Protein backbone atom coordinates (compact mmCIF):
# COMPACT_ATOMS: atom_id res chain seq x y z
CA UNK A 1 0.00 0.00 0.00
CA UNK A 2 2.90 2.37 0.79
CA UNK A 3 4.42 1.64 -2.63
CA UNK A 4 1.19 2.60 -4.39
CA UNK A 5 0.97 5.83 -2.40
CA UNK A 6 4.60 6.60 -3.13
CA UNK A 7 4.15 5.88 -6.84
CA UNK A 8 1.08 8.11 -6.99
CA UNK A 9 2.96 10.89 -5.20
CA UNK A 10 5.87 10.58 -7.65
CA UNK A 11 3.56 10.67 -10.68
CA UNK A 12 1.67 13.68 -9.32
CA UNK A 13 4.94 15.46 -8.52
CA UNK A 14 6.19 14.80 -12.04
CA UNK A 15 2.94 16.10 -13.56
CA UNK A 16 3.11 19.19 -11.33
CA UNK A 17 6.73 19.77 -12.33
CA UNK A 18 5.88 19.55 -16.02
CA UNK A 19 2.90 21.80 -15.45
CA UNK A 20 5.19 24.47 -14.04
CA UNK A 21 7.16 24.51 -17.24
CA UNK A 22 5.48 26.45 -20.03
CA UNK A 23 5.96 26.69 -23.74
CA UNK A 24 3.56 29.51 -24.57
CA UNK A 25 3.14 32.85 -22.83
CA UNK A 26 0.34 35.00 -24.23
CA UNK A 27 1.10 33.76 -27.74
CA UNK A 28 4.90 33.93 -27.36
CA UNK A 29 6.31 30.48 -28.09
CA UNK A 30 9.16 29.26 -25.93
CA UNK A 31 11.50 26.65 -27.29
CA UNK A 32 11.80 23.60 -25.07
CA UNK A 33 15.46 23.98 -24.10
CA UNK A 34 14.89 27.54 -22.87
CA UNK A 35 12.31 26.19 -20.42
CA UNK A 36 13.55 22.78 -19.30
CA UNK A 37 17.05 23.85 -18.29
CA UNK A 38 15.74 26.25 -15.66
CA UNK A 39 14.10 25.70 -12.32
CA UNK A 40 10.54 26.68 -11.49
CA UNK A 41 11.42 30.10 -10.03
CA UNK A 42 13.50 31.12 -13.07
CA UNK A 43 10.73 30.03 -15.42
CA UNK A 44 8.19 31.94 -13.37
CA UNK A 45 10.41 35.04 -13.52
CA UNK A 46 10.88 34.69 -17.28
CA UNK A 47 7.11 34.34 -17.82
CA UNK A 48 6.53 37.45 -15.71
CA UNK A 49 9.10 39.41 -17.73
CA UNK A 50 7.52 38.31 -21.02
CA UNK A 51 4.03 39.30 -19.87
CA UNK A 52 5.25 42.67 -18.61
CA UNK A 53 7.20 43.25 -21.83
CA UNK A 54 4.05 42.60 -23.83
CA UNK A 55 2.44 45.30 -21.67
CA UNK A 56 5.20 47.67 -22.81
CA UNK A 57 7.12 47.71 -19.54
CA UNK A 58 10.58 48.96 -20.53
CA UNK A 59 12.36 47.79 -17.38
CA UNK A 60 10.89 44.29 -17.70
CA UNK A 61 11.97 44.15 -21.34
CA UNK A 62 15.48 45.21 -20.32
CA UNK A 63 15.52 42.50 -17.64
CA UNK A 64 14.37 39.95 -20.22
CA UNK A 65 17.21 40.93 -22.54
CA UNK A 66 19.63 40.52 -19.60
CA UNK A 67 17.97 37.27 -18.43
CA UNK A 68 20.43 34.56 -17.41
CA UNK A 69 19.44 31.67 -19.65
CA UNK A 70 22.44 29.39 -19.29
CA UNK A 71 24.08 30.13 -22.64
CA UNK A 72 24.31 28.10 -25.80
CA UNK A 73 21.17 27.33 -27.72
CA UNK A 74 19.04 28.95 -25.02
CA UNK A 75 20.45 32.33 -26.12
CA UNK A 76 19.15 31.76 -29.62
CA UNK A 77 15.78 30.85 -28.18
CA UNK A 78 15.70 33.98 -26.05
CA UNK A 79 16.38 35.92 -29.25
CA UNK A 80 13.35 34.20 -30.77
CA UNK A 81 11.24 35.27 -27.78
CA UNK A 82 12.43 38.86 -28.23
CA UNK A 83 11.62 38.93 -31.96
CA UNK A 84 8.15 37.56 -31.25
CA UNK A 85 7.58 40.36 -28.73
CA UNK A 86 8.68 42.92 -31.32
CA UNK A 87 6.26 41.40 -33.83
CA UNK A 88 3.42 41.49 -31.29
CA UNK A 89 3.75 45.06 -30.02
CA UNK A 90 5.42 46.70 -33.00
CA UNK A 91 8.64 48.48 -33.80
CA UNK A 92 7.47 51.93 -32.68
CA UNK A 93 6.64 50.69 -29.18
CA UNK A 94 9.92 48.78 -28.93
CA UNK A 95 11.87 51.88 -29.96
CA UNK A 96 10.17 53.80 -27.14
CA UNK A 97 10.96 50.99 -24.70
CA UNK A 98 14.68 50.87 -25.56
CA UNK A 99 15.20 54.62 -25.98
CA UNK A 100 17.08 54.94 -22.69
CA UNK A 101 19.35 51.92 -23.17
CA UNK A 102 23.08 52.59 -23.36
CA UNK A 103 25.18 51.42 -26.31
CA UNK A 104 26.15 48.10 -24.69
CA UNK A 105 22.52 47.30 -23.91
CA UNK A 106 21.51 48.20 -27.47
CA UNK A 107 24.27 46.01 -28.89
CA UNK A 108 23.11 43.09 -26.75
CA UNK A 109 19.52 43.74 -27.83
CA UNK A 110 20.59 43.85 -31.48
CA UNK A 111 22.44 40.53 -31.11
CA UNK A 112 19.31 38.84 -29.77
CA UNK A 113 17.27 40.24 -32.64
CA UNK A 114 19.81 38.95 -35.16
CA UNK A 115 19.79 35.39 -33.81
CA UNK A 116 16.03 35.44 -33.19
CA UNK A 117 15.38 36.32 -36.82
CA UNK A 118 17.94 33.95 -38.25
CA UNK A 119 17.17 30.88 -36.14
CA UNK A 120 13.61 31.55 -34.97
CA UNK A 121 10.37 30.60 -36.68
CA UNK A 122 8.68 34.00 -36.63
CA UNK A 123 6.33 33.09 -39.50
CA UNK A 124 5.35 29.83 -37.74
CA UNK A 125 5.92 27.62 -40.77
CA UNK A 126 8.02 25.06 -38.88
CA UNK A 127 11.35 26.20 -40.32
CA UNK A 128 14.09 28.61 -39.27
CA UNK A 129 13.49 31.94 -40.98
CA UNK A 130 17.05 33.07 -41.79
CA UNK A 131 15.87 36.68 -42.12
CA UNK A 132 17.55 39.95 -41.20
CA UNK A 133 16.66 42.99 -39.13
CA UNK A 134 16.96 45.37 -42.10
CA UNK A 135 14.17 43.45 -43.85
CA UNK A 136 11.94 42.50 -40.93
CA UNK A 137 12.24 45.56 -38.69
CA UNK A 138 13.41 48.47 -40.90
CA UNK A 139 12.42 51.22 -38.43
CA UNK A 140 14.12 49.49 -35.55
CA UNK A 141 17.18 48.79 -37.70
CA UNK A 142 17.44 52.48 -38.65
CA UNK A 143 17.04 53.51 -35.00
CA UNK A 144 19.77 51.13 -33.84
CA UNK A 145 22.11 52.13 -36.67
CA UNK A 146 21.67 55.82 -35.80
CA UNK A 147 22.36 55.14 -32.11
CA UNK A 148 25.49 53.13 -32.95
CA UNK A 149 26.86 55.87 -35.22
CA UNK A 150 26.71 58.52 -32.47
- pLDDT tens-digit readout, 58-93: 999 999 999 876 666 667 888 999 999 999 999 999
How many helices (H) and strands (E) in the chain?
A: 9, 2
CA R_g for the chain: 18
**What's the pLDDT score for residue 15?**
40
CB count in 10 Å sphere of residue 42: 15
What per-residue confidence (pLDDT) applies to 123? Answer: 82
Question: In the chain, what are the domain boundaries?
Answer: 23-148
Residues (pLDDT < 50) of the chain are: 6, 9-22
In the prediction, which pLDDT does 24 show?
Answer: 85
* C-alpha atoms less than 13 angstroms from C-alpha of 18 in its C-beta half-sphere: 5
Could you write out the DSSP letters of every residue in 45-110?
HHHHHHHHHHTT-HHHHHHHHT----STHHHHHHHHHHHHHHHHH-HHHHHHHHTT--HHHHHHHH
The pLDDT value recorded for residue 124 is 80
Provide the pLDDT for residue 121: 82
Amino acid sequence: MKKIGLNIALVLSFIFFLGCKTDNVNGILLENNLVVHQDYSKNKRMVSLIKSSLNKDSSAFKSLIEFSHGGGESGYNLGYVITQIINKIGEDEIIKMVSKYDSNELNNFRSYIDVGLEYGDNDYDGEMDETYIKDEFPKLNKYLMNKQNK
